[in-house]
Amino acid sequence: MISPASAIPDGEAVELAPGVHWVGAFDPSLRRFDLILSTANGTSYNAYAVRGSEGVVVVDTVKSEFADVFFARLETICDYSEIRAIVLNHLEPDHSGALPELLRRAPQAEVLLSTRAQSMLKAVTKADGVEYSYRPVATGDTLSLGDRTLRFISTPFLHWPDTQCTYLEELSVLFSGDVFGCHFCDQRLFNDRVGDFRYAFEYYYRHIMRPFRSHVIEALDLLEPLELALIAPAHGPVLRDGPRDYVDRYRTLAQPTLQAETCAGEKTLLIFYLSAYGNTERMAQAVYAGAEGVEGCRVSLFDLEGSEPSLFVDLIEEADGFVIGSPTINGDAVKPAWDLLSSLTLVKLRGKLGGAFGSYGWSGEAVQMLEDRLRGLKLVVPRHGPKVKLIPTEEELDECRAFGRALAEHLTGVANQARVVDFADLIRP
Ligand code: FEO
């Protein structure tokens, strides 16, 4: 790979603010991260060092293959004996890979990390047998370096349970870990000098942060009040030009997009179906009719044959529940039904209501298979859905209506209300 003229040579640290240096590594050849993310032009593993009047703190390390360049940069700005502490914002191996060797070189350094990271720290260091001391920190805890103060902000699940951010108070620098990062390798380092990385920033958000939207919102509530001169994320460009814009972008991305379309307190139920001969479609319409009659539940009906599963991801994410109708063909639900479910891997589904139904010719496995998958995705499947051999009768359509009504009532809480029994009802005439 040809580096731009303004690339940072290996073995040089980059000063971001007085006494604050980038000591990370570029990985331009990476094309897939964590096996699932495309990285069109690689990534970077950003690590930082902060010097105060009473010592040096290293914030995060790099992937183990890049340890040499990390140590070479670090050695240009401090002796290992000066390192008082190592702050680990996140222990995924792309940030903790060089940690065991750093601990060997700076055995006096105390490791500071979130409470939830403690077990991970033991896991990433156990193979090396290296000795160290560590201290869990939480939101509001600080570390003084004399004239510099690091404040810790717990941001769990962004991107693992262990994650935290670290704020350098005197210089308003936020070391944000994976938050506000992206897989975009550009050796010009700063956001006002690199190429256009908007797609990478949004892609990273969608794939890494989106499943944890409620945690993103909680984190933003803690981060937005901070004065921000610079955001130093664990991947991608250092955000020195308009750092607040990236915080605002997260706030926008984390907002529900469909909330305004429903009335306050209204529950939303989506019904998807596929139908080869119109039988599952008739069932879907009956499920729809049953659910639609329940007050307080907004019901929508979609023929999956007429659309792409990806278009429904946002809807499903914000809906309270969804149902899939599929015929059974060759002992299975049909492919678009599975495509829809497989497109939901980035969506938090736990606790949503789910259901399935469908027509069949001779075996009818689809309903059970879909219900099993919905349960596997952590949805609540309160009722076994109707399956109908070939053409539904009026009685069978009544069953479908009852099924739809029961699901809607489950969502609105009607089905869960305690039933008042009059003793008179218990007396046989
Ligand atoms: Fe960059 Fe979640 O590791």
Same domain, 69 and 186: yes
Q: Is residue 225 domain-shared with residue 337, that is, in the same domain?
A: no
Number of domains within the chain: 2
Domain housing 310: 260-426
**How far is residue 216's CA from residue 285's CA, in Å, rounded to a whole number?**
38
Of 225, 254, 283, the domain-final residue: 254
What is the four-CA torsion angle of 362, 365, 367, 369, rounded to 10 degrees?
A: -170
If asked whether residues 78 and 190 sit together in one domain, one would say yes
Ligand 1 mean position to 25 CA, how many Å? 14
Structural domain ending residue among the three candidates 208, 239, 254: 254
Tell me which of 207, 236, 254 is where a domain ends: 254
Q: Are 135 and 110 in contact (CB under 8 A)?
A: yes
Counted residue by residue, the chain has a size of 429
C-alpha to C-alpha distances, 24 to 161, 246, 295, 400, nearest whole angstrom: 23, 21, 57, 59
Ligand 1 lined by 63 (C-beta under 6 Å): no
Q: How far apart are CA 416 and CA 297, in angstroms?
A: 15
Distance 346 CA to ligand 1 centre (A): 16
Bridge partners, 303 (sequence order): 273
**Statement to judge: residues 43 and 73 lie in one domain:** yes
Residues 236 and 175 in one domain: yes
Residue 165 is which amino acid?
C
Q: Whose CA is nearest to atom 3 of ligand 1?
A: 92
Q: Is residue 4 part of a domain?
A: no
- pLDDT for 3: 60
Do 190 and 121 share a structural domain?
Answer: yes
Kindly state whether residue 3 falls inside one of the protein's structural domains: no
CATH number at residue 61: 3.60.15.10
User: How far, in Å, from the CA of 45 to the mean position of ligand 1?
Assistant: 9
Q: Is the CB of 92 under 6 A from ligand 1?
A: yes
DSSP conformation letters of 311-362: GGHHHHHHSSEEEEE--EETTEE-HHHHHHHHTTTTS--TT-EEEEEEEESS
Same domain, 207 and 305: no
Residue 273 neighbours by CB distance under 10 Å: 27
As beta bridge partners, residue 58 has 49, 86
Distance CA 345, CA 354 (A): 15
Q: Across-strand partners of 44?
A: 26
Tokens of 363: 């075996």
Q: Are residues 279 and 142 in the same domain?
A: no
Residues 46 and 63 in one domain: yes
Q: Is residue 6 part of a domain?
A: no
Does residue 307 form part of some domain? Answer: yes
Q: What is the pTM of this model?
A: 0.79
| Ligand 1 nearest atom to the CA of residue 92, by list position | 3
Is 117 found in the same domain as 45? yes
Q: Domain check: are 65 and 191 in the same one?
A: yes
Domain assignment present for 1? no
Total Cβ atoms within 10 A of residue 309 = 18
- What is the identity of the amino acid at 262? T
Residue 395 included in any domain: yes
Shortest-distance Cα residue to atom 1 of ligand 1: 178
**Three-class secondary structure of residue 302 per DSSP:** strand
**Whether 60 and 172 share a structural domain:** yes
User: What is the reported pLDDT for 104?
Assistant: 96
Query: Can you give the pLDDT at residue 4?
Result: 62
Regions of the chain with pLDDT less than 70: 1-6, 257-264, 415-429
Distance, CA 108 to ligand 1 centroid (Å)?
26
Identity of the residue numbered 353: L
Q: Give the pairing type, strands 110-114 and 83-87.
A: parallel
- Please choose, from the candidates 325, 348, 321, the residue with its C-alpha nearest in 3D space to the C-alpha of residue 266: 321
Which residues contact residue 372 at a Cβ distance below 8 angstroms, ignoring those fewer than 6 apart? none
* Sole residue written with tokens 């009335």: 263
Distance, CA of 97 to CA of 90 (rounded, Å): 11
Residue 400 lies in a domain: yes
Gap from CA of 125 to ligand 1 centroid (Å): 17
Domain assignment present for 5: no
Looking up residue 350, the CATH number of its domain turns out to be 3.40.50.360
